[in-house]
Amino acid sequence: MHDTALEIGGLFLRSYARLDDADVLEIGAYNVNGSLRDYAQDGTRWTGVDLEEGPGVDVVTQPGAPLPVLDDGFDVVLASSVFEHDPAFWVTFLDMCRKVRVGGYIYINVPSNGSVHRYPRDNWRFYPDSGKALADWATSQGQDVVLVESFIASRQRDQWNDFVAIFRKGQPDETDEQRLIHPAISCANVFVWNRPGILHDQSMPEDMTLLSEAQARTRTVQQRIAEAVGAHQVVARQLSEAMAELDAAKYSVLETQARAGDLETQLAANVEILAAERNRAENLGRQLAQSAHSYQAEIAARGDALAARQAEVAHLQSRLAQREEELAQLWRERDDLAAQCDLLNQRAEKAEARLAESDAWVFQLAGERRSAEQERARLQTALGTEQRLRERAEGKAINWQARAERHADALGKVSRALSQAEHDRDLAQTGLAASHDLLRDTDQKLHLARCELHHRFRELADLTRLLDERYVLEAQLRHQVEHATSRLAETENLRNADFAMFNRQLQDHQGREVELRQQVEEAESRLAEAESLRNADTALLNRQLEEAEEKAALLAESAYDRSREIASLSSMLHQTEQALGAQEKRRHQIAEIAATLMRGLGSGRSLWTRWLPVAGKADRLAKSLKEKGVFDPDAYLEAYPDVAAAGEHPLRHYLIHGVREGRSAHSVRNDNAGADGRA
């Protein structure tokens, strides 16, 4: 189904049918290349009828047989692209009228032009009045059918001009006015049931209109070809003149290029000199950069060594501070020991005082006084030893001697008190037991004091040893710091000397660099002047060349357009000449046939009888024309079987109908052979 048939059929279904609740019967429903069934909705009850099974076919019927469905059973009955193949379409149309309900619609779509497309045969084309003829035929057969609208649709992408007719079973009403579809379609020769005459009346089919337009365009093209030939000659002259100008411009370009070559040679020499100077400057710069890099590397190495020394000094200082803290801790511990010793001395003094008081009160202790004196002497000895140890540790023996003297004074006082207390010994007897207990406690406390004092002396010795080690370490650290400081000073002196030498070399290089820069600037100035001259010449040359190229391009484009136009016009002229040649050949054939007929017919017959030969003369004339190669009756019957089926003589049919219909006087094979020979 071609494009316009599918589009117009869908428009009809949407306008005239309630597809949500409708019974539709389609004649010729086999889906070859599209089907109106695609417009069906869920409530549409679609029945497709055709001569063979296939897609879209629900019921199969035989050719010429009545449609095998109920009468008055459908709201819509349609046949699109079917009637041209139906040998008796008027019978089928009458059967369609029986199947539609009263108030229902019949839709047909049939080509009105186009090439032959057999399926299996191609029988008919419908003209604008075909719809009225079908309505009159159905009415004459007792069917109340009215043509609502009909028209010839314009072609779109395909070659067909569709004849469309919509009928209603029963009289149309005002609702049908709203359903008309021809206003939405480009069409001609429109008929509407309630309007007089034909809308958009067009006597010539679209094919003939297009042919007339093509002939007019051919005449225009021939005229344009003549104009183009003249214009081509003018363009050829202009092109030759432009080529001459282009040759002159090329000669000027060559001269300018030669001048530019000389300037480029001179410029290349200056560039080489400048490049050599730049290379020297770059070499000096690289040497200077290498020297600076080596100096910087050495300075960095020495700086790293100095930083390492400083880190080592900082580490030694840290250790020294740690030792100082330890020494301060030892001194604090020594002060604590001294305080404890003082406390023990005080306890001993108290013990001695209490002992003196006991001796004063106890006369019986006179014997024991010697023991006490011996103990005192021993204590003094121990105290002396302790004092000597403390003198070796800190020089504190003086305090211990003072304490011994105080103990001696106390013992003198005790002796004096003993002499005084003899007469009181009776009183002291009562406290003898208590004195003995107190003495034992004192002895124990003294023993504990001696042990603790001995332990403190050992700790003091350890502290003294640590102080000696600290002094040694401090001396080593001072020596290392002094050595590092001296090496740092030497490194600093070397670095200052290197910096001084580097500054001198840098000043020398800077002086040479200034000279090189001056030379480079002079060379660049000369190069800029040469480049400016070259650019000016090149710009002038480019402008001249661009102007010449633009002229040549315009001329070439104009020539190309003219050539394309001439080629197109030549092609159209060739096609026109071929058509004229075919018409001339056909005219020549008709003239030959007419001449043969005039020679073969008697002069006593009428003009009409001359052109309509009897069977015997017709056979002889046909044979004569075949021998001359003008008309071949056998090939004519083979090419057009409808002539043979009608039983007409081929020569008679060709003269009366074939010439007017454009049929060939030869077989298709012979025509093709002739065309191949001409090609």
Q: What is the pLDDT of residues 119-154, one digit of tens each?
A: 888 899 999 999 999 999 999 999 999 999 999 999
Q: How confident is the model at residue 432 (pLDDT cuts 50, 70, 90)?
A: low
234 contact partners, CB below 8 Å, separation of at least 6 = none
CB 86 within 8 A of CB 110: no
406 domain-assigned: yes
Q: How many CB atoms lie within 10 A of CB 59?
A: 14
Query: Which has more confidence, 637 or 381?
Result: 637
Give mean pLDDT, residues 584-589. Answer: 71
Give the pair of three-digit tokens for residue 251: 């000669």
The highest-confidence range among 167-176, 272-281, 438-447, by mean pLDDT, is 167-176
Report the range of poorest mean pLDDT among 35-44, 355-364, 459-468, 476-485: 355-364
Place of tokens 């730049």: 278
Chosen domain end from 203, 237, 258: 203
Q: Which two tokens stand for residue 134?
A: 């079908």
Distance CA(499)–CA(292), nearest Å, equals 10
Inter-CA distances, 447 with 30, 338, 369, 592, 640, Å: 139, 18, 19, 175, 162
Please tell me whether residues 481 and 607 are part of one structural domain.
no
Same-domain pairing of 29 and 148: yes
Tens-place pLDDT, residues 489-514: 777 788 777 777 767 877 777 777 78
According to DSSP, residue 199 is labeled B
Q: Number of structural domains, the chain?
A: 3
Residue 365 lies inside a defined structural domain of this protein: yes
* Residue 155 resides in a domain: yes
Is residue 514 in a domain?
Answer: no
Q: Are residues 463 and 610 in the same domain?
A: no
Q: What is the mean pLDDT of residues 56-65?
A: 89
pTM: 0.39
The pair phi, psi for residue 659, each rounded to 5°, is -65, -45
Q: Which residue has the higher pLDDT, 214 or 69?
A: 69
CA-nearest of 637, 639, 646, 647 to 668 is 639
Question: Is 338 in a helix, a strand, or coil?
Answer: helix
The alpha carbon of 395 is separated from its chain's Cα centroid by a whole number of angstroms, namely: 95
CA distance 671 to 502: 108
CA distances, 1 to each of 27, 82, 158, 496 (Å): 13, 10, 11, 105
Q: How far apart are CA 590 and CA 173, in angstroms?
A: 57
Task: With respect to residue 585, please indicate whether it lies within any of the assigned structural domains.
Answer: no
Read off the pLDDT of each residue in 323-345 and give the average, rounded to a whole number: 74
DSSP state letters, 2-68: -HHHHHHHHHHHHHH--GGGEEEEEES---SS--GGGG--TTEEEEEEESS--TT-SEE--TTSPPS
In this structure, the number of other CB atoms found within 10 A of the CB of residue 613 comes to 21
Asked if 153 and 16 sit in the same domain, the reply is: yes
Confidence of residue 604 (pLDDT cuts 50, 70, 90): very low
Among the ranges given (90-94, 397-401, 423-427), the one the predictor scored with the smallest mean pLDDT? 397-401
Amino acid found at 615:
A
Helix (H) or strand (E) holding 578: helix 432-600
- Residue ending a domain, choose from 495, 524, 540: 495
pLDDT tens by residue, 348-361: 677 667 666 655 66
Overall average pLDDT of the 105-118 stretch: 91
Q: Would 513 be classed as within a structural domain?
A: no
Same domain? 331 vs 474? yes
Cis peptide leading into residue 120 (ω within 30°): yes
Structure tokens at 654: 């060709």
How far is the first Cα of the chain from the last one, in angstroms, to the nearest whole number? 37
203, 220, 243: which is the final residue of a domain?
A: 203
332: phi > 0 → left, psi -120 to 50 → alpha, else beta; which?
alpha
CATH of the domain at 91: 3.40.50.150
Residue 515 lies in a domain: no
Q: Is the pLDDT at 325 greater than 50, yes or no? A: yes
Q: Is the pLDDT of residue 101 over 90?
A: yes
CA–CA separation, 169 and 93 (whole Å): 12
Same domain? For 490 and 622 the reply is no
Average pLDDT, the chain: 77
CB atoms within 10 A of CB 360: 21
596 vs 194, 612, 617, 660, CA distance in Å?
57, 13, 11, 20
Q: Rounded to the nearest 5°, which phi and psi values hold at 365?
A: -90, 10
pLDDT at residue 677, as a whole number: 36
Range name among 52-61, 87-96, 549-558, 643-652 with the lowest pLDDT average: 549-558
Q: Are residues 489 and 616 in the same domain?
A: no
| CB neighbour list of residue 514: distance below 8 Å, 6 or more residues apart | none
Average pLDDT (537-551) is 75
Cα angle for residues 367, 369, 371 (degrees, 5° grid): 90
Q: How much is the pLDDT for 671?
A: 47
Which residues have C-beta within 8 Å of that of residue 48, sequence separation ≥ 6? 26, 29, 30, 37, 56, 57, 58, 59
Q: How many Å apart are CA 357 and CA 359, to the nearest integer?
A: 5
Whether residue 275 lies inside any domain: the answer is: no
Q: Tens digit of pLDDT for each residue in 19-33?
A: 999 999 999 988 888
Picking from 220, 223, 247, 232, the residue whose alpha carbon sits closest to that of residue 560 is 232
List pLDDT tens digits, range 246-273: 777 677 767 777 776 777 777 777 778 7
Half-sphere exposure of 541 (CA within 13 A, CB side): 17
pLDDT of residue 646: 85
The domain of 191 spans 3-203
**Site of tokens 């010697």:** 370
